[in-house]
Structure 1
Amino acid sequence: MNVALWITAGVLAAVCLAGSAKMFVPQEKMAAMSSSAQWVLDFSPGVLKAIGAVELLAAAGLILPAVLDIVPVLVPLAATGLVLLFVGAVTMRLRRGEKATIAGDLIYLVLAAFVVWGRFGPESFTG
């Protein structure tokens, strides 16, 4: 179980690290990358930078506290934040009628919930 949680946290951290590019890539360029990225046009550049910063912090929070053994309870807290982020992403996709592209967000939501459950529960770092 511990290995599965580490792998899941690593996958989520990689996804969030890639997603944090929102802080650096211009809005129009991101929207032109794919049809599933049109949602970025609904948000201001400041909001996109904030979302990117949250994803960057989540990527760090999923891995670093446990690896460095400094306040490892931050791992499930970071995963909880990701659950909230992906609930918002799913909600936004539903509002925009993007049912075809919602699967990825739902998968990441379930993975983050798995890390929350595992790290607060049976494979807690504190116990």
Structure 2
Amino acid sequence: MALDRRALDGFWSEAQWQRELTEPGRLCVGLVNGAELLGFACGWLVIDELHITALAVDPQHRQFGCGGRLLRALLQQAHQQGARQATLEVAADNAAALALYAAEGFTTTGRRSRYYSDGRDALIQWLELPS
């Protein structure tokens, strides 16, 4: 919850995190240093598609490749469990996240207008996983 507040301004409630960490079909990976959680990536595997639900890195540890490591680990875990593609929504004005996803091969396939509570649009990102 503390990392969620620092990195995502309290994206999810405690109940939402409980679901994310315990429900079948949910995948979560974390990046730790000792006892400190530096970042996480989570998704929901539905048949052969991974829907990435959250990816965050502690603000003090950004720009060191942590986001890419987390994303690749989540994609690898999903692929090992049968995923053939991955998708996510990202704020249209989040240049850092868009660059991260583009570096991993994601492409923009659509837009969700006013997707976020503050009125920002989201871009739909898509990736075909290698067979």
After TM superposition, the score normalised by the length of structure 1 is 0.35
Q: Which has the higher contact order (CA 8 A, sep 6+)?
A: 1
Structure exhibiting the larger radius of gyration computed from Cα positions: 1
> Higher strand share goes to which structure?
2
> Higher helix share goes to which structure?
1
After TM superposition, the score normalised by the length of structure 2 is 0.34
